[in-house]
């Protein structure tokens, strides 16, 4: 049982419009059920001369029988691009942003208030309801 992992990247693409590099990551990890994304970020960041904080890993699936996983990796050029283009839920997972805590009841009340309004004012009313639920 070896704790060594082998990381290979494929389908590498430079995406200048989104200020990032993107690729598929294949991880071979015999003797381990899976590998933490933090550990993979360090390894892939080192391979591509990038900071691990700017590396986002997601969508990993372990092959049947174990020992190999495949997922997707994005390496952003700077933190501004990371904050601008990355979805909020992945920023929360990464620890860059915090999740806004709002109650289930507040969300439902805002939704129902938006449903009651009809016509041209619906868009404005839904916006106001959403703002009320956020605060």
Q: Within the chain, where are the H helices?
A: 37-47, 79-85, 88-94, 104-116, 122-134
Q: How many CB atoms lie within 10 A of CB 44?
A: 21
Per-residue model confidence (pLDDT) at position 2:
57
| pTM (predicted TM-score) | 0.73
Tokens for 126? 């839904």
75-99 residue pLDDT tens? 999 999 999 999 999 999 988 888 8
């Amino acid at each position: 049982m070896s704790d060594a992992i082998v990381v290979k990247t494929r389908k590498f693409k430079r995406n200048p419009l989104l200020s990032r590099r993107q690729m598929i990551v294949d991880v071979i990890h015999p003797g381990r059920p899976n590998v933490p994304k933090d550990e993979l970020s360090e390894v892939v960041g080192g391979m591509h001369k990038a900071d691990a904080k700017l590396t986002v890993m997601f969508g990993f699936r372990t092959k049947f029988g174990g020992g190999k996983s495949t997922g997707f990796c994005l390496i952003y050029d700077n933190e501004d691009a990371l904050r601008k283009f990355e979805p909020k839920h992945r920023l929360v997972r990464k620890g860059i942003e915090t999740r806004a805590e709002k109650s289930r009841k507040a969300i439902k009340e805002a939704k129902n208030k938006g449903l009651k309004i009809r016509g041209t004012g619906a868009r404005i009313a839904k916006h106001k309801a959403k703002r009320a639920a956020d605060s």
